A and B are shown apart, each in its own frame.
Chain A
Amino acid sequence: MQLVGQVPLKKKRNKIHPYKFALWVACAAIVMMFAALTSAYMVRKSGGNWLEFTLPNVFYINTLVILLSSISIHGAYLAFKKNNHKLYKILLSGGAILGLTFVTLQYQGWQELIAQGIELKTNPSSSFLYVISGLHLAHIIPGIVAIVLAFIFAFIRKQEVTPLSKLRLELVVHYWHFVDFLWVYLFVFLLLQ
Chain B
Amino acid sequence: MANIDTTKEAILEVGHDHGHDDHHDDHHGDKYQSSFVTRYFFSLDHKMIAKQFLFTGMFWAVIGAAMSLVFRYQLGFPEADMEWLQPLLGRWIIVQDGMGSLDPEFYYALVTMHGTILVFFVLTAGLSGTFSNLLIPLQLGARDMASPLLNMLSYWFFFLAGAIMFSSLFVSTGPFSGGWVAYPPLSALPQAASGSGVGMTLWTLSLVFFVVSVLLGGVNYITTVLNMRTKGMSMWRMPLTIWAFFVTAIIGLLSFPVLVSAMLLLMFDRGLGTSFYLSEIFIGGQALDYVGGSPILYQHLFWFLGHPEVYIIILPAMGIVSEVLSVHARKPIFGYKAMVFSILAIAVLSFIVWAHHMFMSGINPFIANIFVIFTLIIAVPSAVKVFNWIATLFGGNIRFTSAMLFAIGFVSMFISGGLTGIFLGNSAIDIQLHDTYFVVAHFHIVMGVAAFFGMFAGIYHWFPKMFGRFMNETLGKIHFWGTLVGAYAVFWPMHYLGMAGVPRRYYRFDTFDFSSSPGFDTMNQFITIAAVIVFALQILFIINFIISALKGKIVKDLNPWNATTLEWTTPTMVPGHGNWPGAIPAVERWAYDYGKDSDDGKDFISQVTPLKEGEHDGGGH
Direct A–B contact in the complex, CB atoms closer than 8 angstroms? yes
| Chain A residues engaging chain B, CB cutoff 8 angstroms | 1-7, 9, 11-19, 21-22, 25-26, 28-30, 32-37, 40, 43-44, 47, 49, 120-121, 123-124, 127-128, 131, 135, 163-164, 167
- Among candidates A2, A36, A37, A123, residue contacting B292 with C-beta atoms closer than 8 Å: A123
Q: A11-B5, A29-B257 are in contact. Are A127 and B13 (CB under 8 A)?
A: no
Give A13 to B7 CA distance when docked, in angstroms. Answer: 9
The answer to whether the Cβ of B582 comes within 8 Å of any Cβ in the partner chain is: yes
- Among candidates A28, A40, A120, A163, residue contacting B261 with C-beta atoms closer than 8 Å: A40
Chain B contacts for A121, CB-based, 8 A: 272-275, 289
Q: A16-B227, A21-B227 are in contact. Are A43 and B8 (CB under 8 A)?
A: no
Give A4 to B390 CA distance when docked, in angstroms. Answer: 40
A-B pairs with beta carbons under 8 Å apart, 11 shown: A4-B12, A9-B7, A22-B150, A25-B219, A26-B215, A34-B261, A36-B257, A44-B297, A124-B276, A128-B276, A131-B264
The closest CB in chain B to the CB of A168 belongs to B14
- B8 engages A4 (CB within 8 Å): yes
- B291 engages A49 (CB within 8 Å): yes
The closest CB in chain B to the CB of A122 belongs to B274
Q: A26-B219, A29-B219 are in contact. Are A15 and B3 (CB under 8 A)?
A: no
Please name 15 further chain A to chain B contacts, defined as beta carbons within 8 Å, in addition to the given A4-B18, A37-B264, sorted by A numbering.
A3-B583, A4-B17, A11-B5, A12-B7, A13-B4, A14-B5, A19-B147, A21-B227, A22-B147, A29-B254, A44-B297, A127-B268, A163-B14, A164-B13, A164-B14
The answer to whether the Cβ of B223 comes within 8 Å of any Cβ in the partner chain is: yes
- B257 engages A16 (CB within 8 Å): no
- Among candidates B15, B147, B268, B304, residue contacting A131 with C-beta atoms closer than 8 Å: B268
- Among candidates A5, A28, A29, residue contacting B8 with C-beta atoms closer than 8 Å: A5
The answer to whether the Cβ of B584 comes within 8 Å of any Cβ in the partner chain is: yes
The closest CB in chain A to the CB of B294 belongs to A47
- Among candidates A12, A22, A33, residue contacting B223 with C-beta atoms closer than 8 Å: A22
The answer to whether the Cβ of B618 comes within 8 Å of any Cβ in the partner chain is: no
- Among candidates B12, B219, B261, B275, residue contacting A36 with C-beta atoms closer than 8 Å: B261
Q: How far is the CB of B223 from chain A (nearest CB, A)?
A: 4
- A124 engages B274 (CB within 8 Å): yes
- A167 engages B297 (CB within 8 Å): no
- A17 engages B257 (CB within 8 Å): no
- B258 engages A32 (CB within 8 Å): yes
- A22 engages B257 (CB within 8 Å): no
Q: A25-B222, A40-B301 are in contact. Are A5 and B146 (CB under 8 A)?
A: no
The answer to whether the Cβ of B10 comes within 8 Å of any Cβ in the partner chain is: yes
Chain B contacts for A18, CB-based, 8 A: 10-11, 14, 146-147, 223-224, 227-228
The closest CB in chain A to the CB of B304 belongs to A36
Give A101 to B220 CA distance when docked, in angstroms. Answer: 34
Q: How far is the CB of B132 from chain A (nearest CB, A)?
A: 14
Chain A contacts for B4, CB-based, 8 A: 13-14, 16, 21
Q: Give me the 7 closest cross-chain CB pairs, A-B, nearest first.
A: A5-B8, A33-B257, A18-B146, A36-B261, A127-B274, A36-B258, A32-B257
- B14 engages A19 (CB within 8 Å): yes
Chain B contacts for A36, CB-based, 8 A: 257-258, 261-262, 301, 304
Q: How far is the CB of A185 from chain B (nearest CB, A)?
A: 15
Max chain B Cβ within 10 angstroms of own Cβ: one of A30, A32, A49: A32
Q: How far is the CB of B264 from chain A (nearest CB, A)?
A: 7
CB contacts under 8 Å to A, within B34-74, are none
Chain A contacts for B264, CB-based, 8 A: 37, 131, 135
The closest CB in chain B to the CB of A1 belongs to B19
Chain B contacts for A26, CB-based, 8 A: 215, 219
- A4 engages B274 (CB within 8 Å): no
Q: How far is the CB of A3 from chain B (nearest CB, A)?
A: 7
The answer to whether the Cβ of B600 comes within 8 Å of any Cβ in the partner chain is: no
The closest CB in chain A to the CB of B221 belongs to A25
Q: How far is the CB of B19 from chain A (nearest CB, A)?
A: 6
The closest CB in chain A to the CB of B584 belongs to A4
- A3 engages B13 (CB within 8 Å): no
Q: A19-B146, A121-B273 are in contact. Are A5 and B19 (CB under 8 A)?
A: no
- B7 engages A163 (CB within 8 Å): no
Give A44 to B279 CA distance when docked, in angstroms. Answer: 13
Q: How far is the CB of B332 from chain A (nearest CB, A)?
A: 27
- Among candidates A2, A30, A44, residue contacting B581 with C-beta atoms closer than 8 Å: A2
Give A163 to B14 CA distance when docked, in angstroms. Answer: 7
Give A5 to B3 CA distance when docked, in angstroms. Answer: 18
Q: How far is the CB of A192 from chain B (nearest CB, A)?
A: 20
Give A18 to B300 CA distance when docked, in angstroms. Answer: 34
Q: A17-B14, A124-B292 are in contact. Are A22 and B262 (CB under 8 A)?
A: no
Q: How far is the CB of A16 from chain B (nearest CB, A)?
A: 5
The answer to whether the Cβ of B403 comes within 8 Å of any Cβ in the partner chain is: no
Give A4 to B15 CA distance when docked, in angstroms. Answer: 11
Q: How far is the CB of B253 from chain A (nearest CB, A)?
A: 5
